[in-house]
Amino acid sequence: MKFIKDSSSIPVIDAREYIVGGKKVTWDGPMQEIFSPLRLEKDDGSLEIIKIGQFPLIDEDAARAILKSTVDAYERGKGEWPCMSVKERIPYFERFIMRLREQREHIIQALVWDIAKSTKDATSEFDRTIQYIEESIEELRKLEKSTEDVMHVGNVIAKVKRSPYGIVFCMGPYNYPMNETFATIIPAILMGNVVIVKPPKRGSMVYKYIVDALDGTFPPGVFSVLFGRGRTIVEPIMKSGEVSIFGFIGAHNTANHINAMHPKPNRLKRVYGLDAKNMAIILNDADIDETVQECLAGTLSYNGQRCTALKLLYLHKEKQEEFLRAFCQAVDCLPAGIPQEDPKITPLPDERLAFYQGLLQDALEKGAKVINEPALDVETYFYPKVLFPVTKDMRIFKEEQFGPLVPIVPFEDIEEPISVILDTEYGQQCSIFGKDPDTIAELVDFLVNLVGRVNLNTQCQRGPDILPFTGRKDSAVGTLSVKDALLTFSLQTVVSTKADEQNKDLFRELGDGRRSKYLRKDILF
């Protein structure tokens, strides 16, 4: 376990500005202070909480001003941005990428200090996001090209393309405050929608630099940033009835609460990534070395703070001894330290600790044991704990831990884990570890009807981002990925006419004569 020794390395992230009407505006009202999960070790050995920055707690009037600039930008579909051609829209994103790159080091440092993500993982979050924007632009070009031709169907000629929905309100999670939120923002704006984003409280610090990159980059009202307390600023946005899509990655109860504020439920489209409790099924012929490594990464990468983390391991009794010994050894060897030094285990947000303790106590009281040998927890270091045997009556069996607790359930009959997957409310992904093709085939063929992705001898994960990322039951609404998200945030629309000479001429004039942005062909490659 390590602490920060040098107070001069502590950043001061004064996120006093937010974006309204495409430009930075300075807030002079109350601010929310942000404290790091890291601690400063003083010369006398005492530990001190570290303040790293602050963000504006804007009020309802400021939130309404942001909403107005967004409504004005979309202009009920007549605005410059929704009517712009794809070819005209793309350069704004190229400029945005350039300006984000200028902020790369700041953004990485903000992730390191604010959410204690290791430098390596924080760097990968930034780089993956840039790659996501670049790949989305390429996909949009392909999509545009695929809709270039006019269709002739009987006596009808038509052009079918994709059009925006309107105003999109995005909220993302603390564990990927840039990457996952951008996974909804970028496709939404690329498709001609306009966006308001509310950063999460924990994870907000990167938005100081995103705001810097946004200043003057997009036309007014296309991409706005709303800092503040959810209960003050989210309500006026949602209650206005102006939002057409709510893009949300986080807990289902928050999503449902905000969704219910909208006065016109039929107008509101939802794009959600919600709670998950991905299961690993370790069969009696699993390769133990490979399974241990994948389960280690799957349960404890970034301390288990991933929606795709493996959150319940079902272990065949024939492999119990071998797996538990190797797995616990591997868990206890994970280096812990400050994220700047790229350890595997880093400090956790203060506000999460009581929840982890509660899950742990409950499991211990109901008969589970911590079977590895974790170091003694100090302050925000909560070392990984392997819990065995876990039973159905324990909270950790059902609740998403989103942290370094690894519950393991022994089984003999494959119907035991299957019945859990059938009954659970979650449906994001699962992993199967084993070798026998017949057994695996049988599992795969129905598990694909219960979850969004089945991983064979690998951990659960979202990437590569080109693959569809979705879930069933209460785990997701809609599909994200470089390609799917463009479809999710747009509606197929048609312009058609009768195939008589006069109307064919009109269609030609609108398209080939380049009169209509919708109907014309733009050379994109």
Under the criterion CB under 6 A, does residue 308 sit at the interface with ligand G3H?
yes
Q: Using CA atoms, how far apart are residues 303 and 309, in angstroms rounded to an integer?
A: 9
Under the criterion CB under 6 A, does residue 70 sit at the interface with ligand G3H?
no
Under the criterion CB under 6 A, does residue 184 sit at the interface with ligand G3H?
no
Q: Of 313, 351, 476, nearest to 37 (Cα)?
A: 351
Q: Of 384, 395, 414, 401, nearest to 315 (Cα)?
A: 414
3-state secondary structure of 56: strand
Nearer to ligand G3H, 308 or 340 (CB): 308
Nearer to ligand G3H, 144 or 474 (CB): 474
Stretch that binds ligand G3H, among 30-38, 186-194, 225-233, 302-310 (CB under 6 A): 302-310
Q: Using CA atoms, how far apart are residues 467 and 236, in angstroms rounded to an integer?
A: 36
Nearer to ligand G3H, 193 or 481 (CB): 481
Q: Residue 162 in contact with residue 190, Cβ under 8 Å?
A: no
Under the criterion CB under 6 A, does residue 426 sit at the interface with ligand G3H?
no
Stretch that binds ligand G3H, among 97-105, 348-356, 377-385, 461-469 (CB under 6 A): 461-469
Nearer to ligand G3H, 116 or 307 (CB): 307
Q: What is the DSSP letter of 519?
A: T
Under the criterion CB under 6 A, does residue 278 sit at the interface with ligand G3H?
no
3-state secondary structure of 461: coil
φ/ψ (deg, to 5) at 514: 60, 30
Under the criterion CB under 6 A, does residue 74 sit at the interface with ligand G3H?
no
Under the criterion CB under 6 A, does residue 306 sit at the interface with ligand G3H?
yes
Considering the complex, what minimum distance in angstroms separates the CB of residue 183 from ligand G3H?
8
Under the criterion CB under 6 A, does residue 461 sit at the interface with ligand G3H?
yes
What is the Cα gyration radius of the chain?
A: 25
Q: Which of 347, 462, 471, 519 binds ligand G3H (CB under 6 A)?
A: 462
Stretch that binds ligand G3H, among 62-70, 112-120, 146-154, 460-468 (CB under 6 A): 460-468
Under the criterion CB under 6 A, does residue 180 sit at the interface with ligand G3H?
yes
Q: Residue 172 in contact with residue 249, Cβ under 8 Å?
A: yes
Q: Which amino acid is at 157?
A: I
Q: Which of 81, 96, 176, 246 binds ligand G3H (CB under 6 A)?
A: 176
> Hey, how many other C-beta atoms are within 10 angstroms of the C-beta on 145?
15
Considering the complex, what minimum distance in angstroms separates the CB of residue 176 from ligand G3H?
6
Q: Residue 116 in contact with residue 219, Cβ under 8 Å?
A: no
3-state secondary structure of 120: helix
φ/ψ (deg, to 5) at 355: -65, -45
Residue 273 forms beta bridges with which residues? 249, 476
3-state secondary structure of 35: strand
Residue 80 token pair: 């410059």
Q: Which residue is nearest to ligand G3H (CB)?
A: 307
Under the criterion CB under 6 A, does residue 175 sit at the interface with ligand G3H?
yes
Contact set for ligand G3H, span 6-35 (CB under 6 A)? none
Nearer to ligand G3H, 472 or 517 (CB): 472
Under the criterion CB under 6 A, does residue 463 sit at the interface with ligand G3H?
yes
Considering the complex, what minimum distance in angstroms separates the CB of residue 188 from ligand G3H?
17
Buried b (16+ CB within 10 A) or exposed e, 100-134: beebeebbbbbbbbbbbbbbebbbbbbebbbebbe
Nearer to ligand G3H, 358 or 463 (CB): 463
Nearer to ligand G3H, 252 or 462 (CB): 462
Bond prior to 374 in cis (omega within 30° of 0): no
Under the criterion CB under 6 A, does residue 252 sit at the interface with ligand G3H?
no
Sequence length of the chain is: 525
Q: Using CA atoms, how far apart are residues 83 and 77, in angstroms rounded to an integer?
A: 7
> Hey, how many other C-beta atoms are within 10 angstroms of the C-beta on 43?
6
Q: Which of 307, 328, 418, 447 binds ligand G3H (CB under 6 A)?
A: 307
Q: Residue 338 in contact with residue 118, Cβ under 8 Å?
A: no
Considering the complex, what minimum distance in angstroms separates the CB of residue 178 from ligand G3H?
12
Q: What is the size of the binding site for ligand G3H (CB under 6 A)?
A: 9
Under the criterion CB under 6 A, does residue 401 sit at the interface with ligand G3H?
no
Q: Which parts of this chain interact with ligand G3H (CB under 6 A)?
A: 175-176, 180, 306-308, 461-463
